[in-house]
Amino acid sequence: MATKNDNIETAKKAGKALKAEAAASTEPVDIVLTINGEDVTVAAPATVEAAHWRVPLLMQSGTNQDIAKAIPLILGAEGCELLDSAGATFNDLNKFLDLWSEEIGMGE
């Protein structure tokens, strides 16, 4: 049986998904990461469907290798350069994926 907190969390997720869908298709979302003590903002697609055509296919497979292949497609050349110049680590990429998933309504 769902608790009040479960219902609130479900409503929040639905709200984020609706927000992403409404904002969607062409307007990217800004994801802010703190890398080496500095805030770095990268733009990412507002939905999985708005990303490069290979991203949904790679994300759907769910393997670590395919998700790793999707990251540069999500970030684009400019986003990759920003993370490179900031000295991003693998942990920073994981944080990016978590934040992006939340922003587009797919995360926890």
Q: Has residue 108 got a pLDDT over 60?
A: no
Domain extent listing, the chain: 4-103
Which backbone phi and psi does 49 adopt, to 5 degrees? -65, -25
Residue with tokens 């991003």: 88
pLDDT in tens, 5-54: 665 676 666 556 655 555 545 789 999 999 999 999 999 999 988 999 99
Q: How far apart are CA 16 and CA 105, in angstroms?
A: 5
pLDDT in tens, 71-107: 999 999 999 999 999 999 999 999 999 999 999 887 6
pTM beyond 0.75: the answer is no
For residue 2, the model assigns a pLDDT of 67
